[in-house]
Amino acid sequence: MSETAQAPTAAVNPNPTSWLQNLGIAIEVVCPALALTVVILRTYIRLDTKSFGWDDGLILSAMALSIALAAGSIKVMKELYIGIHYYDVPMPFDPTEGLIWIYVVGAVYQPILTLVKQSVLVFLLRFSGIKAGVRYVVWATIVFNTVLMVAIFITVIVQCIPIEINWHPLVPGYCIQQFTFGVAAASLTIMTDIVAVALPFYIFLGLKINKNRKIALIGVFMLGVLVTVVSIVRLYFLAQNFHDTSPDKNFSLGFCVSSIECNLAILTASAPALWPLIRRCMPRFKSTRGRSYYGHHKYGGASHAQQGYIRTTDGADSGIGLKDMSGRRVHTEVRSARDSDEEILTGTGIMRTTKFTVSTEDSQSRATPIHNFDDRTTHSKISSNGSL
């Protein structure tokens, strides 16, 4: 009597997981959490210094979409078994829900990056001393980014007709060349990333401020280069996903690069706005010479507590001996290229340098001696020469 040996059948886990998928989910949670923390701090210091602007509103919008991107990405990873070996995927496998979430994630991705870049560009426009040519370039970039965002968004929405083909591939219809579109959109995004990094670098390079402060400022904005690097890495994984025909191609974290890119962009765009908060929490970073610039002074009766004050230079000789002018009636005329309080980078504690000269005119001093200072009028003319 013979017995037929049968191999034991392993039970299939209906909800498989792996260390790689758990790592991917952690990335999708930690990256938005870090970005959200920085955005909350940025919003707090901007509201506290009464300098909340359009650039802050754009960052808040990008942050809201980034949270939606993270939630959708986690859903995709679970529904399509991203980070799971193909032989651990339970059968039968219905990808419909996962493909729907991929469609949502794809629609949200581009607006996040565009809103962050627009925030940086609007931040630059808050300078009153930017040269006209640079200002035109900034505005042209803003317009181009907006048009590009709308065009890519509409294309993503209607890339397949009917739209249902995106999650039901067997439905009769038509789709564009998705790989070609993806590469073109990613390439244009990288190009605008480079412009968004180059413009602040060019503008801040011309600031007449302390050398160490200038290096720190440029260094913070140059962190945006990391976003461009991540964008290039994402483009690589995009191409790999379209051309990889191996059954185990989903055992990868390439899908998480989009979340890293978007949240890193929010972090680097918000970092400069945290400088006043850092100075407040760490007084050793606040120089004694800069203390008066953050006090509650008034010039000509108009309070400038909201926007900060004009700093002339970083040198030791930058102050004006006001006590030497006591007893005189002084008439001061301030001339600037633009009538604006934005003589500084609002809310950052970074001052724009204004170079000025003071001259006195006394028509009576040559004729007769003046013994009563109350009858003497001094005219000081201050002309701004701090355009960027």
Tens digit of each residue's pLDDT (9 = 90 or more) over 11-62: 567 788 899 999 999 999 999 999 999 999 999 999 998 889 999 999 999 9
The per-type count for the chain, helices as H runs and strands as E runs, is: 9, 8
CB count in 10 Å sphere of residue 224: 24
pLDDT at 357: 53
Cβ count near 59 (within 10 Å): 28
Compute the residue count for the chain: 388
- For the chain, residues with pLDDT lower than 70 are 1-12, 127-129, 206-209, 283-388
- Pairing type for strands 329-335 and 377-383 reads parallel
Among 74, 245, 94, smallest CA distance to 167 is for: 94
Q: Largest Cα–Cα distance in the chain?
A: 139
pLDDT tens, position by position, 288-324? 444 433 333 333 333 333 333 223 334 433 333 333 3
Amino acid identity, position 16: P
User: Does residue 91 sit in helix, strand or coil?
Assistant: coil
CA pair distance 266, 35, nearest whole angstrom? 6
User: CA 384 to CA 351: how far, in whole Å?
Assistant: 14
- pTM of the model as a whole: 0.71
Give the pLDDT of residue 294. Answer: 36
- Three-state DSSP at 302 gives strand
CA 27, CA 30: separation in Å to the nearest integer?
Answer: 5
Return the residue matching tokens 């496998």. 93
Instruction: Report the pLDDT value the prediction gives residue 208, as an integer from 0 to 100.
Output: 66
Residue 266's nearest CA partner among 100, 12, 64 is 64
- Contact 382/358 with Cβ under 8 angstroms? yes
- Separation of alpha carbons 151 and 66, rounded Å: 20
The predicted structure's pLDDT at residue 370: 45
